[in-house]
Structure 1
Amino acid sequence: MTPSQNQPEIYVSTDIEADGPIPGPHSMLSLASVAYDPEGRELDSFSVNLDTLEGARAHPRMEQWWAQFPEAWAECRRDTVAPQPAMNAYADWVEALPGRAVFVAWPAGWDFMWVYWYLMHFTGRRPFHENALDIRTYAMAMRRLEYRRSGKQYLPRRWFSEERPHTHVALDDAREQGELFMHMLRENRRNDP
């Protein structure tokens, strides 16, 4: 076994906010992650708001969507940082975690696409490799139901933290979904045959 296989998994719940459907023509506005140890203890967090990409434009439908959330919009435009130093700082943070980082998100397909593109484009680094865990898929497997019946509205309330609303502020949402995942993981381990 390599040394990295002996390290504990660190679950890095991540949420991004963006102004369009794909990176490049559109920009990631905000990135936040909360790291949890295997027992579910929060280890650390990272949050940054990013400058928009040169030449990129917001998608009209995303502009309409953001208009519904003026407080979240104002929060993701506060104290922005250029993408290259922001993503280098993020990669440094992930690589300094005390274990093997596993990207966790709801939906992982969306958030990981943005983070991976930005990391590769601005740093050339892959601190997660391609390790991305989708919480909804995990719920589907735990509940042995179809994917369409594994949305948040179908999940047991005991998996959610009551004090964590979904605000569309990246750090809030990363913590909300991280706690959800850790509740699920602990329950799944208790039920392990």
Structure 2
Amino acid sequence: MSVIYVSTDVEVDGPIPGPHSMLSFGSAAFLADKTLVSTFSANLELLPGASGHPDTMAWWAKHPEAWEACRQDLRAPAGAMADYVKWLDALPAKPVFVGYPAAFDFMFVYWYLMRFAGRSPFSFSALDIKTMAMVMLDKEYQTITKRTMPKRWFDPLPHNHVALDDAIEQGMLFCNMLAECRR
């Protein structure tokens, strides 16, 4: 086993890290055969001087249960990211970041890792599920959404904007796609 796929989802209060905070993140480590090896999640304290973006906060107002879930048991980012690096380093293979959309989720996770832990076990790269779907379906990138993906790729799991739940859901999606690719 050379790699382990770490499906990761973030919940945030704005479009970029620094001026805005990562509120919560969850990661689910999967083997290619869809075995869930381990999970990690943390709800984070807000960054000093950061504030919620009005558009993002309006979105949160429509999802009060998810907001409540990511504001419980808050941890300081430095401690959470140090523990996350330890968790990633303890996985049985090299971690590969998997996201949907990877550019957004990875931007926050990478920024927090570098700022608070000083390094990223993922290096500089992330695997994007939407790009993988574009290639598998031979469609234009902008036409790909979860609604346009084949139903067979999805397990009956909730997408509730709780970071760990969403990370598990998208990790199962990725593994289903990977299995189809390799057939």
TM-score for the superposition, normalised by structure 1:
0.93
Alignment of 1:92-111 (within 5 A): 92-111=86-105
Alpha-carbon offset, residue 39 of structure 1? 1.6
> Cα deviation per residue 1:88-113 (whole Å; 9 max; x = unaligned)?
00111111110011000000000000
Select 2:169's aligned residue among 145, 151, 176: 176
Deviation digits for residues 62-93 of structure 1 (CA, Å, limit 9, x no counterpart): 11110000000000000000000000001111
- Residue 50 of structure 1 pairs with residue 50 of structure 2: no
Structure 1, unmatched stretches of 5+, are: 1-6
1:184 partner amino acid: M
Aligned to 1:62: 56
Contact 1:159 1:184 in 2 (8 A): yes
1:141 aligns with 2:97: no
CA–CA distance in 2 between the matches of 1:53 and 1:130? 23
1:189 corresponds to: 182
Greater relative contact order structure (CA < 8 Å, 6+ sep) = 2
1:90 corresponds in structure 2 to 84
- The alpha-carbon deviation at position 131 of structure 1 amounts to 2.5
Residue identity matched to 1:124: G
Residue identity over aligned pairs, in percent, reads 56
How many residues end up aligned between the 2 structures?
183
SS in 1 for 2:109: helix
Q: Give the whole-Å Cα distance in 2 for the aligned partners of 1:142 and 1:9.
A: 21
Q: In the aligned structure 1, how far is the partner of 2:130 from the partner of 2:147?
A: 11
**Letter matched to residue 172 of structure 1:** D
Partner letter of residue 171 of structure 1? L
Conservation of the 8 A alpha-carbon contact between 1:31 and 1:49: yes
| Aligned mates of 2:56, 2:144 — CA distance in 1 | 26
Corresponding residue of 2:31: 37
When structure 1 is superposed on structure 2, of 36-45 and 108-117 the one drifting more is 36-45
SS at match of 2:75: coil
What TM-score, normalized by structure 2, do the two folds share? 0.98
